[in-house]
Amino acid sequence: MRAFQMVEVSPSAPFDMGVQYGRQAREKILAGIEGYKRLFLETSGMPWGEISNYAREFIPGAEETMPDVMAEVRGIAEGAGASEGDLMALNCRYEITKFPRPEECTSFALLSETLRDGGPLVGQNWDYRAGIIENIVIIHARCSDGTRVLGLAEAGQVIRNGFNSHGIGLCANNLQSVCDRRGVGIPVTFLRRRILSCRTFDEAIGVVKNSRREVSCNLMIASSDGRAADLETYPGGFDLIEPEGGMITHANHFVANPKNEALETSPRGDRLRGLFEEKSGDIDVPYVIRSLCDHENYPKAICRHPSDVGMPLERRGITVAGVVYDLGKGIARICAGPSCEGEFVEYRL
């Protein structure tokens, strides 16, 4: 059975968290850096030094607005024996690889009224390049203030989706708007990490509201007190989508304001909603997992498999992980690779 490496840290401060993480995941972090060096050279012709210098431009803004996350990244670099520029490139890869951007990920939130018992649930199929599967890690942090966080990242990135002991859960998927531009704002990965340190739903929404963004991203946020929202963010603003019938599903196109859209629409969000509506009020985790394994509309299915055979295998699109976070019970179920091929392993917060 394939499973992601577990990185367990008990930090006294953000830098310490990064150091512990970097030491444990050093091999995967360095492999990820080498992989991106090849990717950027093959796809853009840009040498790594140029990429690294661009990523460093994000540091002043991050240092000013999210110094704790920046300290964590510096700690990861220290622990892994990598440069600060290398780690910033990993954490800014969403911005660096943004143009053009393929369809990535299908996310959802299910409130308790849709479930047989328990909840809320938030989760997704994380779609990206097949070449990163071996470099994904699960990070489980037990912080000195009592906060616990569990989630996923490409090794070297701060946690990009997950949930915490305050009942805040986050998943995300790509959006590309007509307003997106190459600029320097807060890296989306930093924004996601900050949300996962929030203690309340309103605080999490406020993080999004007050952050400067140069590119779009869809953020699915839910809390154990029964609240959920999908935030379609873009440079200069965001639109908030509330649950209908106790659920939200989303893929890779703008729903609230379609005029923002720069890519073609995807059927995956509507398909997932249709599957959930069939059993609303009696949905359980096994049914959610079966829904994440759905292949209707292939190659644009919820569960994604490589179809772009003209590309090298490591660059083909695939579901690299499936996740279901139970915010009420504090349980994560995580599948390494396509949801239909692996086992959703249970991890407790």
Most confident range, picked from 6-20, 175-189, 249-263: 6-20
Q: Which of 62-71, 305-314, 325-334 has the lowest mean pLDDT?
A: 305-314
Mean pLDDT of the chain: 94
What type of residue is 267? P
207, 210, 212, 217 alpha-carbon torsion, rounded to 10°: 50
Give the residue carrying structure tokens 């398909």: 271
Q: What is the mean pLDDT of residues 211-215?
A: 90
Q: Is the pLDDT of residue 276 over 80?
A: yes
Gyration radius from the chain CA atoms: 18
Domain boundaries of the chain, sorted by first residue: 5-348
pLDDT band at 9 (very low <50, low <70, confident <90, very high): very high
Q: What is the pLDDT of residue 103?
A: 66
pLDDT in tens, 299-309: 999 999 988 77
- The string of pLDDT tens digits covering residues 91-113 is 999 988 775 556 679 999 999 99
- CA-based nearest residue to 189, from 151, 148, 159: 159
d(CA 293, CA 196): 27
What share of the chain has pLDDT > 90, as a percent? 82
Peptide bond into 120 cis (omega under 30): yes
Instruction: Check if the beta carbon of residue 77 is closer than 8 Å to that of residue 23.
Output: no
Average pLDDT on 213-220 reads: 94
Partnered with residue 106 across adjacent β-strands are 125
User: For the chain, first and last CA: distance in Å?
Assistant: 22
pLDDT at site 209: 93
Q: How far from chain centre, in Å, is Cα 299?
A: 21
Distance (Å, whole) CA 21 – CA 10: 10
**Which CATH code of 3.60.60.10, 3.40.50.720, 3.30.470.10, 3.20.20.70 fits the domain covering 5-348?**
3.60.60.10
Q: Does residue 230 have a pLDDT over 90?
A: yes
Of 59-68, 116-125, 181-190, 286-295, which range is least confident? Answer: 181-190
What pLDDT shows up at residue 53?
A: 93
Confidence of residue 321 (pLDDT cuts 50, 70, 90): very high
> 331 - beta bridge partners?
326, 348
User: How far apart are the C-alpha atoms of 314 and 112, rounded to whole Å?
Assistant: 39
Angle at 169 between CA 166 and CA 174, to 5 degrees: 150
Per residue in 116-159, pLDDT tens?
999 899 999 999 999 999 999 999 999 999 999 999 999 999 99
- DSSP letter for each residue of 99-148: SS-----EEEEE-GGGBSSS--EEEEEEEEEGGGGGGEEEEEEE-TTS-E
User: Please, are residues 30 and 80 in contact by the beta-carbon 8 Å criterion?
Assistant: yes
Identify whether the C-beta of residue 40 lies closer than 8 Å to the C-beta of residue 53: no
Helix and strand totals (H; E) in the chain: 11, 14
- Measure the CA–CA gap between 259 and 22, rounded to whole angstroms: 42
Q: What is the pLDDT of residue 32?
A: 95
The confidence score (pLDDT) of residue 101 equals 58
Question: Can you give the pLDDT at residue 193?
Answer: 98
